[in-house]
Amino acid sequence: MTPAAHPAPARLRSLDALRLVAALAVVLFHFTARGNVRWGVPPDEAFPLLSQVTRFGYAGVHLFFVISGFVVLMSAWGRGPRSFVASRVSRLYPAFWAAVLLTATLRWWWPTFSDRTPAEVAVNLTMAPEVFGVARVDGVYWTLWVELQFYLLVLLFVRLGITARRVVVAATAVPLACTAFTLAAPSSAGVLTLLSWCPVFAAGMVLFVIHGEGHTAGRWGLVALNSAQAVVVSASQKAAAIDAIAPGRPTSPLALGIVVVACVALVAVVAFVPAIRDLDWKVLTTAGALTYPLYLTHEYVGWALIEELRTHLDRYDTLVVTTLACAGLAWGLHHAVERPFQGPFRRFLLQVPLPRLPGRGTARPATALE
């Protein structure tokens, strides 16, 4: 079957902004709900009411992955393997390398942080230290290894040739298999951390198919099926994961399930509600550009700032100033690293030959939101 042509959609600037919403949800989760000693007291004591809301900021990861399913499929559609790999690697690695080195330096220098050895830092630069049994420089980087696994699956898709029918078949069969395995043997996945997250990626992929190819009851039913699987996995595993790292009242599986469904619904609203989909405000894209560097650098930089500022400001002022400072650092990383290095790195990678594998894929111009 010849891969179907698929017109590059106009940039969804609201989706750019939604990525920043996901990042800020994670930032607030780490600063005000996740267990830490940076406030001098447990975060549920420092923020007794706020922490019970921001503990659901963990679901910002779900929102990230739904968006990623949408955007990465957009990036891959009609593109050859070399182009796809160059696009993804140049998008992720320059800022990541800078963030790893920055965080490793801070962990070595800041008196209350434990450090990482040079060898551990070097392995972290691969973005997959789990494969080598090496501790991460920053705990939040676990999501990047999940993303890389998803990219490998999409690369296989690229080799075979992407069509709407193939996406629908894969988004039906693969999440069902992954969910069944996750529920049957939750501790057996090892480094295959993508397994429990397959349904949220698949929901985003199907939403992109609907966005590009049109609405059908079957496609929306598949979005619902994957959302339901994500809710089941979240209720059975993710709620307990939140409780393990965030003190306070136990996380309601029902409430978390509602938040997970809301993450899928938010992407659908951005993709299909004209008043939001058609917003053409450049500021939304500017805000979205802060997402990745903010996610990469906020945790240890934020904790250091909290330790320093909490003796001079009240807790809420400290939280606001710290969050704004982390956003400022993200802006600097975007302008000093991402913008100048992403394009040249991508052009370099386009000249590097890839192994010849069976399958096919055709090149196309780059699309928006890459």
Mean pLDDT computed over every residue of the chain = 91
Q: What is the mean predicted confidence (pLDDT) over 259-280?
A: 95
Quick one: pLDDT band at residue 310, thresholds 50, 70, 90?
very high
Specify burial of residue 301 (Cβ count, 10 A radius: 0-12, 13-18, 19+): buried
What span, in angstroms and rounded, lies between the C-alpha atoms of 210 and 215? Answer: 5
Phi, psi (5° rounding) for residue 2? -75, 135
Is the pLDDT score of 4 beyond 80?
no
Q: Does residue 364 surpass a pLDDT of 60?
A: no
In angstroms, the CA 65 to CA 18 distance is 12
Confidence at residue 352, expressed as pLDDT on a 0 to 100 scale: 73
**pLDDT at position 1 over 90:** no
Say if residues 229 and 175 touch (Cβ distance below 8 Å): yes
Rounded to the nearest 10°, the torsion over CA 302, 125, 68, 178 is -110
Confidence bin at 356 (pLDDT 50/70/90): low
pLDDT at 366: 38
- Taking only the tens place, the pLDDT of each residue in 278-305 is 998 999 999 999 999 999 999 999 999 9
Q: Say yes or no to pLDDT of 253 above 60.
A: yes
Check if the beta carbon of residue 334 is closer than 8 Å to that of residue 20. no
Identify whether the C-beta of residue 49 lies closer than 8 Å to the C-beta of residue 307. no
pLDDT given for residue 353 in this prediction = 67
Give me the pLDDT at residue 368, please. 37
What digits encode the pLDDT tens for the residues 192-208?
899 999 999 999 999 99
Contact by Cβ (8 Å): 206, 167: yes
Q: Please enumerate in sequence order all residues whose Cβ is within 8 A of that of 192, keeping only pairs 6 or more positions apart, or say none.
A: 149
Per the CB < 8 A criterion, the answer to whether 213 and 74 are in contact is: no
Is residue 10 scored above 50 in pLDDT?
yes
Q: What is the pLDDT of residue 185?
A: 80
pLDDT average, residue stretch 103-127: 97
Please determine, for residue 52, whether its predicted confidence score (pLDDT) is greater than 70: yes
- 316-340 pLDDT tens trace: 999 999 999 999 999 999 999 999 9
Q: Provide the pLDDT confidence category of residue 218 given band limits of 50, 70 and 90.
A: very high
The reported pLDDT for the residue numbered 226 is 98
Cβ atoms within 10 Å, residue 212: 18
362 confidence band (pLDDT: 50, 70, 90): very low
Residue 358, pLDDT > 90, answer no
Q: Tell me how far apart the alpha carbons of residues 368 and 285 are, in angstroms, rounded to a whole number.
A: 11
Single out the residue of 121, 132, 175, 133 nearest to residue 153, CA to CA. Answer: 175
Residues 204, 215: Cα–Cα separation, whole Å: 14
What are the contacts of 35-42 at 24+ separation with CB within 8 A? Answer: 35/245, 35/246, 35/247, 36/303, 38/303, 38/306, 38/307, 38/310, 39/306, 39/310, 39/315, 40/310, 42/247
Residue 127 has pLDDT above 80, yes or no: yes
Give tens-digit pLDDT for 54-112: 999 999 999 999 999 999 999 999 889 999 999 999 999 999 999 999 999 999 999 99
Q: Is 36 helix (H, G, I), strand (E, B) or coil?
A: coil
What pLDDT score does 189 carry?
Answer: 67
Q: How far apart are CA 110 and CA 201, in angstroms?
A: 37
- In angstroms, how far is CA 352 from the centroid of its own chain? 27
CA torsion, points 268, 271, 273, 274, in degrees to nearest 10? Answer: 180
Q: Comparing 124 with 9, which gets the higher pLDDT?
A: 124
